[in-house]
Structure 1
Amino acid sequence: MRDTGMGAGLGGESLLFLTDEQLRQGIEAMFFAYRGFTADPDRILADMAYGRAHHRAVHFINRAPGTTVNNLLNILGVTKQSLNRVLRTLIADGLVESRVGQNDKRERHLYLTEAGRALEQQLSDAQRARMRAAFREAGPDAVGGFRRVLEAMMDPEMRRAYARLKENGA
């Protein structure tokens, strides 16, 4: 295992006493990792004049077909105006379909079209390849630790939403 200077070779207890410098290095690693994680999808989306908000919407609609606009608002944590702008584009371009709710006519349920599923597959394939390579390089213990760290960084409400997603489709 590589020493990242952040206590990689240390026991779990020593991680409780990270210095500000080690924490800064972790924060910077997150910034650069996120940049790498989003680079491939960003290139794909740029050709379509889409951004990361489109990607997140497509991802979570695919993850929970039939999700409501309100549920998507809660998951993404964006304004209704912002999400409506993204959804209007995705619907107009034939990637997302909005259906009126069966029980509540005010609800709008969202589904990816065949073209939307193809785009989501292309985007997620790129991210899965990067994630698979990183997980393989880091090893199984690091993968488990990485997931625990990410979950611990989530606000309680987001952790509950994440747990529901895992339960409903993992």
Structure 2
Amino acid sequence: MEDGRATTTRGGENLLFLTDEQLRQGIEAMFFAYRGFTADPDRILSDMAYGRAHHRAIHFINRAPGTTVNNLLNILGVTKQSLNRVLRTLIEDGLVESRVGKSDKRERHLFLTEDGRTLEGRLSDAQRARMRTAFRDAGPEAVAGFRTVLEAMMDTEMHRTYQRLKESGA
């Protein structure tokens, strides 16, 4: 057990003894899969002069409406300056609304506007379609294994953040 997560083997194989070549192939597959996963949203965002940072912010604001800027900083793992640039653009363009906290006036709570929710829907629909096809083609056992691998790759704090987000049901 590492980082509080159990390691498992499938089909009697000890997965700790992968060759460097097998690991290289996995790394390359991940790079190319990520390119495919981001290609459709990238095309949609390029027309608006937005990038992946905008997409990630929109995604997680939609996932947890009312999230604070500090929470978003923690989830995204970016600098405050970088996030502020992204948020300023999204707010100016009418996609995100920033509200002052009720109990703590220093906090800013973030919400997608109707236009923001529409854009988020277009971006997520494109990614869901790609994931749905890949998951259907791979089958349920492969999907479970894929999720296990992804979670095992997360460092401890990132995994905690991921778990909190999953458990929030937002």
TM-score band by shorter chain is: over 0.9
Q: TM-score when scaled to structure 2?
A: 0.93
Paired with 1:107 and 1:59, the residues of 2 have a C-alpha distance of 20
Count how many residue pairs are aligned between Structure 1 and Structure 2: 161
Cα 1:93–1:139 shift into 2, 3 Å: same
What SS class does the counterpart of residue 110 from structure 2 fall into?
strand
Q: TM-score when scaled to structure 1?
A: 0.93
Q: Deviations over 1:18-47 (max 9, x none)?
A: 000000000000000000000000000000
Paired with 1:89 and 1:12, the residues of 2 have a C-alpha distance of 52
- Runs of 4+ residues deviating >4 angstroms: none
Report the alpha carbon displacement of residue 12 of structure 1 after superposing the two structures with TM: 4.6
The one-letter code matched in structure 1 to 2:25 is Q
Q: Deviations over 1:100-148 (max 9, x none)?
A: 0000000000000000000000000000000000000000000000000
Paired with 2:110 and 2:122, the residues of 1 have a C-alpha distance of 20
Aligned to 1:67: 67
Aligned to 2:5: none
Structure 1: which 5+ runs fail to align? 1-9
Identity, % of aligned positions: 86
Q: Deviations over 1:80-107 (max 9, x none)?
A: 0000000000000000000000000000
Q: CA RMSD in A?
A: 1.0
Which structure is higher in RCO with an 8 Å CA cutoff and minimum separation 6? 2
The one-letter code matched in structure 2 to 1:11 is G
Paired with 1:135 and 1:14, the residues of 2 have a C-alpha distance of 24
Aligned to 2:22: 22
